[in-house]
Amino acid sequence: MTTNRAEIEENIEFETSCGNVFADIGFDNAEEILLKSELVRQINHTIKEKELNVTQAGNLLNIDGDMLSNLSRGRLTELTIENLFRYLNILGRDLEVVLKPTSTSSSQGKLKVTVV
């Protein structure tokens, strides 16, 4: 029996994301994890862009090998947002935090990360 592509696609179920994969899979602190993961992604991108080796990156950020390993592997529990902001500043990145009223009728605001 031969199954064609249309028949296969017909049986695939899709779920629309809320825009935050961590919320989609049920994390309680999904917005914090999303923010941290984007900050860590930008830190790792900047380290690579500046062609820093492990020793140079550790010395520049004043962190030990374990913390640098956490950064490079995306292990977020040991990392604070405050330190991630500081690391990005040290690496030459400007950060801007904008607070504004919510644009929906929801009583809880949303977190949005924009990289320019």
Query: Which positions ≥6 away from 72 have C-beta within 8 Å?
Result: 44
CA dist., res. 72 & res. 6, Å (int): 41
pTM for the full predicted model: 0.77
Q: What is the pLDDT of residues 10-67, one digit of tens each?
A: 777 777 877 888 888 988 888 899 999 999 999 999 999 999 999 999 999 999 989 9
pLDDT band at 3 (very low <50, low <70, confident <90, very high): low
Per DSSP, the chain holds a count of helices (H) and strands (E) of 6, 0
Q: Which domains does the chain have, with CATH numbers?
A: 26-116 (1.10.260.40)
pLDDT band at 114 (very low <50, low <70, confident <90, very high): confident
Q: From residue 38, how far is each of 31, 43, 74, 85 by CA, in Å?
A: 11, 9, 10, 11
CA dist., res. 20 & res. 30, Å (int): 7
